[in-house]
Structure 1
Amino acid sequence: MEEADLLNQTTSMKYIWLRGLSANQKVQMTVFALFLTSYVLTPIGNILIVITIIYDRRLHTSMYFFLSTLSFIDVCHSTVTVPKMLRDTWSEEKLISFDACVTQMFFLHLFACTEIFLLTVMAYNRYVAVCKPLRYMTVMNWKVCVLLAVALWTGGTIHSISLTSLTIKLPHCGPDEIDSFFRDVPQVIKLACTVTHIIEILIVTNSGLIFVVCFVVLVVSHAVILVSLRQQISEGRRKALSTCAAHLTIVTLFLGHCIFIYSHPYTSLLEDKVVSVFFTTVTPLRNPIIYTLRNEDTKNALNKFMERLEGRAKK
């Protein structure tokens, strides 16, 4: 059959089989415990951050508006993959319908790309707060924050639609097995029964351009911040450095995974699985841990919120 005829075919594959992480029962139990712990703690921690920010009026600033958005995205991000992985851990037939696979890929890239844009916006917000403190409330007013939020969600949606559309247009007529524990564009592309080099280049270019632009903005903004901090008093410098360190930690963990997965040929590697496990289970927990433990304002607001809840419970 000619390649042109293949491209005109509709997707004939109805289900995709997953190999998972391991066939070893002990490994599966460990994986299940890891996934379950993550999925329980991630919503609790991130939702607690959102409620605390809403509760304390002193945290009603652009910085904490974006932080609450980040927490919301992390809850959604983990929900896209972890519940299915929990079920598959104990299932002998780890399969998913092709339509559900495409849906999962769409939302996975929607939340991932939106988070990258959000981290970049948060870096710009920190730059304005440190380098232009007198103009901060004017530059980062609520109207600007809402517009930036709309822009980053729109950008994430466009990115996700473009990657998903490139994938589903390919003729998928077998093989129907993925050597992974969740569905992503690189793995699904390998199931196509046609040459995919051009599609792979387009996807790497699309994702790579986003990573590079965001990375440059992040590096430049933090470099300017560090230079500006040399002129500030010690207390203000310490607080700003703590916030920047927390943000850089999150950016490193998140972008590090994206760069690793999309910067090498689309092959099935054990390292890919390990990095993906970290990305899907550990990374969404970073906000409650990193931002809460390193941010005095958030810790104080959280303590007051918990004390108020305890007071109500005693009554």
Structure 2
Amino acid sequence: MAGVARAAFRSTRVNNTALARRRRSSAVMTGFIYVGGALAMLPLIAILAHITARGLSAFSIAFFTQLPAPAGADGGGIGNAITGTLMLIGMASAIGLPVGIGAGLFLADRRTTRLAHTVRFLADVLNGLPSVVLGVFAWELLVRPVGHFSALSGGITLGMLMIPLVTRATEEMVKLVPVALSEAALALGFSQWRTVAKVVLRTALPGIVTGALVAMARVAGETAPLLFTAFGSPYWVWDVRRPIAALPLQVYSFAQSPYDEWRAQAWAGALVLIAIVAVISASARLAIRSRQRLARGASAGRSIRA
């Protein structure tokens, strides 16, 4: 009996030692994870804190509503750049969203065809292309033939940047739609296009909206393509055939200015641009959460009825 007791004691001690070792290893790895997360967030927090501290000092009603002041003068604002950015995003969305969604639906529906593989490859190449290269191409294609810069050229260029992002997002979201839904719609007599429009697209719509918002957030901060197309303007511009101001261009121009007032407004413009991107990104997250809540509610309703 004594031998059995000693063996049981040794076994228990070994198990406790192994358990303590696993707990220490788990604590160390958990610490590494938290440290890694903190280090990943540190640059973003530092950038946001610095831009906020430098940019808030220039905030005023005039900053959001007035035109830029002449060189060396006090006051003025970037109201034209804010409206120009919103106009460019709107034009880019009007071009990039229909084309991107249509291409994504095609890739998801004809995913194994040779044409689909070619379109998918070209979309990936365009997505990885430096924006300055696309800006030079747009200048040669859109600006040089007409002889002047314009808001329309900038909107088309940003729309081309949006197309591959929306295309891939749409394709991935449509792939998540159960095939049984499409088959059920076809069995009920729906045509192919009506099945896509009424069933597939509607089911995947929240994910597509999220991808579209992410694409809009990305193009909102592009500078290089606009240098070759929209160019910038110190005036209020509502005619898309004329050069137009934009926040990235204004920040780029004012940041390298020798005037303190303009440099302060560059920091403030960067903060406004971050706020616009943050609002768009937050809208994407809200769309995801809304979709998840609706899905959970529908699942709970089916469980109750069952």
TM-score (norm 1): 0.30
TM-score (norm 2): 0.30
Greater Cα radius of gyration, structure 1 or 2 = 2
- Greater RCO, CA 8 A, separation 6+: 1
